[in-house]
Amino acid sequence: MVSQTLLETAVDQFGRLGFEGASTREIARASGTAMSSITYHFGGKQGLYLAAAEHIAESIRSLQGDSVARALEAGRASPEAAAASLAAILDGLAQMMLRPETESWSRFIIREQQTPTEAFDRLFEIAMQPILDAFLELIPLVRPGTDRREATAMGVLLFGQAMVLRAGRAAVCRALQIDRIDDDTATLLRARLRANVLCILSEKPR
């Protein structure tokens, strides 16, 4: 069985240093794993990198999958329910972005966003596509007549409002003149996100 510590160390090292900068020898040392174990389980550095991407993707799916499915099912009842479900999905994403472990995930994902590799395919297909699919079903229920391209644009921009809580953490803290996002600030940001989502969804088409 592959060590959870090994995968978490690989995510951290690859996220901080990139594929070229990270060393499998250092990843093995930091995780207390033999180099031979990396070769045996993954075949080398590339295999470990892809496994690290899958570890992030599966972790996100584990955190979000059931709640997204429930929200999607509930949202099919009416336009109002669909709007509430979209807000609930975004709130779940915001809560995930506030979790400490997503710091290392974010560094890894941002590198792949800038220079996509096969690892990005796995991140997108496993973790991102199911959330986007939920958006693409729910948004037209709230805003009838919205075509797929516009719904996709709206979905990715809504997702960005949650993503900034992790990818833009330093800017968020600097803007709010705080050292870290404490519980009160998290509550404020989540409430504002919900209000933003509902406002955007209720916007009158031009």
Mean pLDDT score, 55-80: 96
Residue 46 has pLDDT above 70, yes or no: yes
Three-state secondary structure string covering the chain: CCCHHHHHHHHHHHHHHHHHHCCHHHHHHHHCCCHHHHHHHHCCHHHHHHHHHHHHHHHHHHHHHHHHHHHHHHHCCCHHHHHHHHHHHHHHHHHHHCCCCHHHHHHHHHHHHHCCCHHHHHHHHHHHHHHHHHHHHHHHHHCCCCCHHHHHHHHHHHHHHHHHHHHCHHHHHHHHCCCCCCHHHHHHHHHHHHHHHHHHHCCCCC
pLDDT of the residue at 165: 95
Of 98, 74, 99, the C-alpha closest to 86 is 74
How confident is the model over 81-115, as pLDDT tens digits?
999 999 999 999 999 999 998 999 999 999 999 99
Q: Over the chain, what is the mean pLDDT? A: 94
pLDDT of the residue at 3: 82
Mean pLDDT score, 21-31: 94
Stated pTM of the model: 0.91
pLDDT of the residue at 73: 96
How confident is the model over 159-192, as pLDDT tens digits?
999 999 999 999 999 999 999 999 999 999 999 9
